[in-house]
Amino acid sequence: MAAARVMHAVVVGGGSWGTAFAVLLRDRGHRVTLACRDAEQAAAIAGTGRNPRYARSIDLRGIAASTVADAPAEEADLIVVAVPSRAFRGVVDALPGEAPILSLTKGLDPSTGERLSTLVRGRPVAVLSGPNIAGEIAQGLPAATVIASEDVALTLELQRAVNSAVFRVYVNDDVLGVELCAAAKNVIALAAGGADGLGLGDNAKSGLVTRGLAEMRRLAEAAGARPETFAGLAGLGDLVVTCWSPVGRNRRAGELIARGATAEEAVAEIGQVVEGLTTAPILRDLARRLEIEMPITDGVCAVLEGVSLTDLVSQLMHREPTRE
């Protein structure tokens, strides 16, 4: 692989994933600015070399910090966006300059149901997704990911810029499939967490996750994505880690809800955004428009609307048996 040029990258979003990705870029020799939501967080990072809210043990020395409003976006070679899906449109609309955007956000636009990359206007865009638990990456543990864009030259440049001995990067041009994987796997993870919360066992959970992958594949085919993308890192890879990792936010939220918490109480206990809660009804509506069945997604929405999870499990198990 050809050597990567040194970039000036602005990472917008001082959460756990934005912080971990800023470290990845710094360790690859790039100039990095971590743009935070508020001045207090930015000042703490600049003064102590630590993020006071997320990944507190990770050394951030060598990474500049600023507020989003003061970030040097016009001077950047790359802008990495790692914000919740509900904030994505506002962030990208306000960014000055013409630097390419690399989206780390996994979800759909809550107001329109659109894929997030389609909200980027007037500049190249790529998306990154895969089994990437932020805390592990920040600790330097090995991981793999995929970067997708319709701009082949951009994906190859980003692959060179990010790939390392601990973070292996693959490229893909199926942006539609990668973004739908990233959104759908969080909803399945809520259901997997529900199985954990009810103590249904590994057989039940494995069956649920496997049928969840089948739902994701149906969605891919109906939407025009490539089904094989759902068997790759952005699909199966991310689905597995999201459904089994003890620190997975969506899995944990599903577990807490199964044990009696409301969605709001689960988010409060976790202390971070749980994208599956936002994405589930959007994904259900998309499935209905495409006229495909997504019973697990429907079930997650039903539980969030007040249906008993125990009753839902019974309903799913009593569905008419079919061919796999």
Q: What is the pLDDT of residues 138-190, one digit of tens each?
A: 889 999 999 999 999 999 999 999 999 999 999 999 999 999 999 999 999 99
Q: What is the pLDDT of residues 263-303, one digit of tens each?
A: 999 999 999 899 999 999 999 999 999 999 999 999 999 99
* CA atoms 153, 20, 75, 5: torsion sign: negative
Q: Report the Cα–Cα distance between both ends of the chain, in Å, rounded.
A: 41
Decide if 185 is catalytic.
Answer: yes
Burial class from Cβ neighbours inside 10 Å (0-12, 13-18, 19+) for residue 114 reads: middle
Task: Give this prediction's pTM.
Answer: 0.92
Helix, strand, coil percentages, rounded to 5, for the chain: 55, 15, 35
Among candidate residues 26, 185, 205, 251, the one labeled active-site is: 185
CATH architecture of 8-173: 3-Layer(aba) Sandwich (3.40)
Residue 46, pLDDT score: 86
Find all residues with CB under 8 Å of 21, minimum gap 6, and list them: 11, 80, 82, 104, 137
CATH for 176-317 is: 1.10.1040.10
* Residue range(s) of every CATH 1.10.1040.10 domain in the chain: 176-317
* Residue range(s) of every CATH 3.40.50.720 domain in the chain: 8-173
Percent of the chain with pLDDT over 90: 81
Long-range contacts, stretch 70-73, CB < 8 angstroms, 24+ apart? 70/35, 71/10, 71/12, 71/33, 71/35, 72/8, 72/10, 72/33, 73/10, 73/35, 73/97, 73/99
* Residue stretches of the chain with pLDDT short of 70: 1-3, 312, 314, 316-321, 323
